[in-house]
């Protein structure tokens, strides 16, 4: 307001004086001086003339899949299914304030107003019932149809045990003794679930769930889930398939791609497999670690056993391939068919050591299991040991 008033006053005073300065009339100069003085007054009275911008603020929230009286699924085997929201806390609003601008203008230019930006984000605690009965694991998780890494979520899993206890966060909010344990129901609790990545809304979750025969059912001890006590870890090929360290291939500066991380879980393939083994076969106590080398002749007396690589030009950037003293450049390549190798490469020695340690750390015995793969393609010139001649 002061800017408008003093601008008009300055123009009137300059007009009464008359004349020109540097080609500008006294009225124009008076308007500029008045406007400048008025802006200073406005900024001091109205908070520096700052502009407030709000982003991400939500006025209303809605939980999906929340309905009283909805049925709870009963499943057997492995299946992907959604759940029912059985509890949720109030939404917590988090405000982040940033300031920018406020710089003075150049000669003859107005100063820039300060800008204050308030960014709103939200979080919530929520419990989702998955199915009836006791499950062995929750595997992959999808949010609005996109697979996400469970480790990115502060999530607790209740497998539906008959003696499971109430969730501590739910009790902290609702009060001790006011929260059921939902015994016999498998459910998950997301604690402080950040909603920013989901557009400040609770996404539609779905879960990959495994529910085998129940332990108290007849013959459960002889069924696969609880009866299997040892397994062989296959396929036994893959240069870094057994590594617990993420490895990346590179063929030069700026070129990099993963060798053994192939899921949104952001863990190595071996780590994911070992974790799944422990959850799906809880009584498994021993593993045979299959490691493949290659034979070059079907005649036993002529056959040579060698470790081989997929390609010599690609090296593991942080774990160079080494097997029995051979390097990638000195080892042979696996034969190809239709432009693709017929097998994966021999696991590097360091990856085998990592795998053995990981299996031991998981509380299981491990046996090194050498395995021979024959890589003779059709049309090779080797004698046929089965030929009658």
Higher pLDDT, 20 or 215: 215
Q: What are the residues whose beta carbons fall under 8 Å from the beta carbon of 183, sequence distance 6 or more? A: 160, 161, 162, 163, 164
Dihedral sign from CA coordinates of 174, 180, 181, 182:
negative
Q: Which of the four pLDDT bands, split at 50, 70 and 90, describes residue 38?
A: low
Interval 344-377: pLDDT, tens = 999 999 999 999 999 999 999 999 999 999 988 8
CB 248 within 8 A of CB 258: yes
CA 267/CA 244 separation, integer angstroms: 8
CA 56/CA 66 separation, integer angstroms: 24
Phi and psi at 236, nearest 5°, equal 85, 0
Interval 142-190: pLDDT, tens = 999 999 988 888 999 999 999 999 999 999 999 999 999 999 999 999 9
Interval 210-269: pLDDT, tens = 888 766 655 555 567 888 999 999 989 999 999 999 999 987 777 889 999 998 888 999
Q: What are the residues whose beta carbons fall under 8 Å from the beta carbon of 313, sequence distance 6 or more? A: 251
| 329 has pLDDT over 60 | yes
| Predicted pLDDT of residue 119 | 82
Task: Please state which of the ranges 17-26, 76-85, 285-294, 364-373 shows the lowest mean pLDDT.
Answer: 17-26
Please give the C-alpha separations between residue 338 and each of 128, 320, 343, 369, 374, in angstroms, as whole numbers.
Answer: 48, 27, 13, 30, 18
Q: What is the pTM of this model?
A: 0.69
Q: Which of the four pLDDT bands, split at 50, 70 and 90, describes residue 95?
A: confident
CA 181/CA 148 separation, integer angstroms: 27
CB 282 within 8 A of CB 361: no
Phi and psi at 221, nearest 5°, equal -70, -25
In this structure, how many other beta carbons lie within 10 angstroms of the beta carbon of residue 1?
10
**Tokens (6 digits) for 100:** 């920018």
CB 27 within 8 A of CB 14: yes
Q: Which of the four pLDDT bands, split at 50, 70 and 90, describes residue 2?
A: very low
CB 242 within 8 A of CB 352: yes
| 272 has pLDDT over 60 | yes
CB 346 within 8 A of CB 307: yes
């Amino acid at each position: 307001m002061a800017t408008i008033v003093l601008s008009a006053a300055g123009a009137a005073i300059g007009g009464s004086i008359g004349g020109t300065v540097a080609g500008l009339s006294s009225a124009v100069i008076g308007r500029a001086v008045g406007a400048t003085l008025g802006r200073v007054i406005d900024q001091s009275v109205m908070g520096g003339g700052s502009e407030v911008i709000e982003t991400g603020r939500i006025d209303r929230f809605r939980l999906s899949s929340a309905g009283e009286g909805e049925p709870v699924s009963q499943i057997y085997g492995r299946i992907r299914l959604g759940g029912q929201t059985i509890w949720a806390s109030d939404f917590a609003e988090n405000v982040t304030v940033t300031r920018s601008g406020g710089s003075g203008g150049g000669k003859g230019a107005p100063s820039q107003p300060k800008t204050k930006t308030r960014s709103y984000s939200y979080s919530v605690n929520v419990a989702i019932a998955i199915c009836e009965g006791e499950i062995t694991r929750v595997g992959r998780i999808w949010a609005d149809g996109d697979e996400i890494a469970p480790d990115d979520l502060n999530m607790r899993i209740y497998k539906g045990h008959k003696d499971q206890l109430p969730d501590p966060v739910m009790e902290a909010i609702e009060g001790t003794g006011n929260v059921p344990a939902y015994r016999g129901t498998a459910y998950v609790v997301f604690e402080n679930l950040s909603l920013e990545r989901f557009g400040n809304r609770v996404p539609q979750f779905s879960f990959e769930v495994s529910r085998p025969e129940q332990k108290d059912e007849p013959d459960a001890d002889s069924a696969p889930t609880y009866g299997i006590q040892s397994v062989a870890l296959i396929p036994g090929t893959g240069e870094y398939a057994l590594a617990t360290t993420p490895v990346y291939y590179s063929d030069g500066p700026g070129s990099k791609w993963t060798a053994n991380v192939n899921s949104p879980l952001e863990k190595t393939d071996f780590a994911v497999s070992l974790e799944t083994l422990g959850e799906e076969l809880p009584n498994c106590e021993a593993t045979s670690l299959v490691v493949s080398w290659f034979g070059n002749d079907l005649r036993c007396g002529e056959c040579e056993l060698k470790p081989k690589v997929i390609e010599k030009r690609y090296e593991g950037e942080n774990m160079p391939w080494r097997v029995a003293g051979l390097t990638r450049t000195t080892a042979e390549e696996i034969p190809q068919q239709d432009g693709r190798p017929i097998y994966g490469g021999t696991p590097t020695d360091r990856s085998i050591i990592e795998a053995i340690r990981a299996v031991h750390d998981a509380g299981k015995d491990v046996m090194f299991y050498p395995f021979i793969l024959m890589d003779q393609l059709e049309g090779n010139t080797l004698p046929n040991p089965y030929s009658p001649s």
